[in-house]
Amino acid sequence: MSSTREPVMPQNLSYHRDIKYVLKLNNWILCTIGILPFTTRRIGRHVFKILIAFYNFIISFTIVPCALHIIYDQKDIIIRLKLFGLLAFCLTAMTKYCILTIRLPKILYCIEFVKSDWWQVTFRSDREQMLKYAAAGRKLTIIVTSFMYTSSVLYYQILPFFVEHIINNETVRPLVFPIYSKFRQFQISPVYEIVYVAHCMCEYTLCSVTVGTCGLAALFVTHACGQIEVILSRLEDLVNGKNFMQNPNIHRRIAAIVKSHVRVVKFAAVVEEVLQEVCLVELSSSLCTICLLEYYCIVDWQDDDRISLATYFLLFLSFCFNVYMLCYIGELLMEKSSQIGHICYMINWYQISPKFARSLILIIAMASHPIKISAGRIADLSLLTFVNILKTTLAYLSFLRTLVM
């Protein structure tokens, strides 16, 4: 790292541009489903409550007829399994939606925390390091969004029109979600068009909840990693003090590093509180969904149904990437936080007085317990967890094939 002194700014002069770059995508997704309130107008602060109630009604309006169709209408075991996966995804997305709604105060607290950190940026190098991790989180969110929305459009709005819909020897117009056959009025215009639009809104809500969950995780965790990177640069410069223009005293430099480290640890604790339930639901539901999608791909491969195979394979990639992203950022946070202790030892600590060098022992002790994000305090988000999930899905797939075939 360069030891040349950089110009100091009284605050981040690019704050508004930076914070817009960091939060824009997540704000757009989460505001449209009511998770984040609108702040542009006074009335907008209450619109999100109406949106939450409305979308929960739309999801319930979709799930109930679909469940009745699976129980009473559908007799084919393969189609039942396919619809069960759809219903399970709806229920888990609704669960995550409720959790995010309950955790809204903590989410807003974390967002304000992120804004505060960006406002307090002093050195240009700090801003560049934070932007690097913010860009990584933004790219992950874009990939998740692209996969999820593309696969959902194929599954919900294109695939139904390539499947023959016959109930009681009558051909019916396809809908995004199947409906109980007793509700014949759903095929009559304009009721059919209204129901179709409601199903499309439900589809958008379910996908946005999944994308929003992953986007929030990527935003908060990569921000914490960016802050840790700033701490590492401070530690590397502890002896020379080039980046401590306001703290020329070595004791004050160490105090500033400890303060920043404690701030990141507290932020990570709130982030885990926000994410632990939704991550648990996401991992457990993805375990079931990925297994079912693997089975659907095998069945469609045997039936030579290319459109359905392509759709389910894209969904498979989407859910796999969602789980991988959560596990990857958890692994990244553990790796970055554990580097603090390593850097403390690798700097020229022997050039400072023993009195101040002893202060580094506490930092090393804290860094020996790296920051982790867990799924319901049951499993840590790491690449090992991702591998274990894939292994478990293959084991369940083998059992499912034996049971059904």
Q: DSSP per residue over 177-210, as a string?
A: S---TT-GGGGSTTHHHHHHHHHHHHHHHHHHHH
Dist. CA 321–CA 139, nearest whole Å = 13
| Residue in this structure with the two tokens 């759709």, named with its chain if needed | 311
Give CA 43 to chain center in angstroms: 29
User: What is residue 8's DSSP assignment?
Assistant: B
Dist. CA 258–CA 380, nearest whole Å = 25
Dist. CA 20–CA 312, nearest whole Å = 35
pLDDT at 313: 93
Helices (H), 1-76: 15-32, 44-68
Residue 116 burial by Cβ neighbours in a 10 Å radius (0-12, 13-18, 19+): exposed
| Residue in this structure with the two tokens 């759809």, named with its chain if needed | 86
pLDDT at 307: 87
pLDDT at 35: 87
Q: Do 371 and 268 contact (CB within 8 A), yes or no?
A: yes
Strands 379-380 and 170-171: unpaired
Dist. CA 270–CA 106, nearest whole Å = 7
pLDDT of 348-357, one tens digit each?
777 777 777 7
| Residue in this structure with the two tokens 């307090």, named with its chain if needed | 120
- Tell me the sheet residues that pair with 374: 380
User: What is residue 9's DSSP assignment?
Assistant: P
- Tell me the sheet residues that pair with 170: 167
Which are the contacts of 165, defined by CB distance < 8 A and separation ≥ 6?
171, 172, 173, 174
- Tell me the sheet residues that pair with 272: none
User: 375 — phi, psi (to 5°)?
Assistant: -100, 95
Dump strand ranges (E) for 254-382: 374-375, 379-380
pLDDT at 92: 92
pLDDT at 175: 79
The angle subtended at Cα 54 by Cα 50 and Cα 57, nearest 5°, is 145
Q: Do 126 and 181 contact (CB within 8 A), yes or no?
A: no
Q: Give the dihedral of Cα atoms 194, 200, 206, 211; nearest 10 deg.
A: -150
User: 358 — phi, psi (to 5°)?
Assistant: -65, -25
* Each residue's pLDDT expressed in tens, for the chain with a length of 405 residues: 444 344 444 466 788 888 999 999 999 999 888 888 765 555 556 777 888 889 999 998 889 988 888 888 888 888 888 888 888 999 999 999 999 999 999 999 999 999 999 998 888 888 899 999 999 999 999 999 999 999 988 888 888 777 655 555 566 777 788 888 777 677 787 888 888 899 899 999 999 999 999 999 999 999 999 999 999 988 887 777 665 555 567 778 888 888 989 999 999 999 999 999 999 999 999 999 999 999 999 988 988 888 888 999 999 999 999 999 999 999 999 999 989 888 888 877 777 777 777 778 888 888 888 889 999 888 899 999 999 999 999 998 888 888 776
Long-range contacts of 324-328 (CB under 8 A, 24+ apart): 324/386, 325/140, 325/143, 325/144, 325/214, 325/217, 325/218, 326/214, 326/217, 326/279, 326/282, 326/283, 326/381, 327/381, 327/382, 327/383, 327/385, 327/386, 328/140, 328/383, 328/386
Nearest CA to 112 out of 8, 39, 34 is that of: 39
**Domains of the chain, residue spans:** 15-404
Helix (H/G/I), strand (E/B), else coil: 198: helix
